[in-house]
Amino acid sequence: MAKFHLNDDTELVNSIREGLKKTGGYCPCRLARTEENRCICKEFREQLEDPNFHGSCHCGLYVKD
């Protein structure tokens, strides 16, 4: 699996973590509470597998190196 890390923006990370607590681990940026949207979301897991993708997940919590 590709390397990834928390976003360097600690204010953003803290805000998203609070949102995750409120939603029970589901991405706070998504409306649907489905397994696909449970952190780390399916979209970002797929992006991690793509060797050409470099950037953050949908909500910005994680960044792929």
Q: Each residue of 26-48: b (16+ CB within 10 Å) or e? A: bbbebeeeeeebbbebeebeebb
Q: What share of the chain is helix, strand, coil (3-state, %, to 5)?
A: 40, 15, 45
Residue-wise pLDDT for 32-42, tens only, equals 999 999 999 99
Gap between the Cα atoms of 47 and 31, Å rounded: 20
Position 1 confidence tier, pLDDT thresholds 50, 70, 90: low
Number of domains, the chain:
1
Range(s) of the domain holding residue 28: 4-64
Model's pTM, two decimal places? 0.88
